[in-house]
Structure 1
Amino acid sequence: MDYANRKRPPKRTPPKKSTRGKSQQSTKPAVPWLVVLLAVILVGGFAWLLSAISGRSQQPTPQSVDVPPAQQQPTAQPQKDPLPEQPEEPWDYIEVLENQEVVVDVPERELGPPKLMQCGSFRNKSDAEEMRAMIAMMGLESQIRTTDGGNGVWHRVILGPYESKRDAERDRHKLERGNLHGCQIWNWN
Structure 2
Amino acid sequence: MRRERTDAARNRAKILAAAEGIVAARGVEGLSMAEVAAAAGVGVGTLYRRFGDRSGLAYALIDAREREFQAAFIEGPPPLGPGAEPVARARAFLGALTDRTAEQLDLLLMAETAAPLARFGGAYDAYHAHLALLIGQARPEADAFCLADALLAPLAAPLLAHRLGTGGVTVARVKAALDRLLAGFVIEG
Global fold match (TM > 0.5) = no
Flag the structure with higher strand content: 1
Structure whose alpha-carbon radius of gyration is higher: 1
Flag the structure with higher helix content: 2
TM (norm. structure 1) is 0.17
Does 1 or 2 have the higher relative contact order (CA < 8 Å, sep 6+)?
A: 1
TM (norm. structure 2) is 0.17
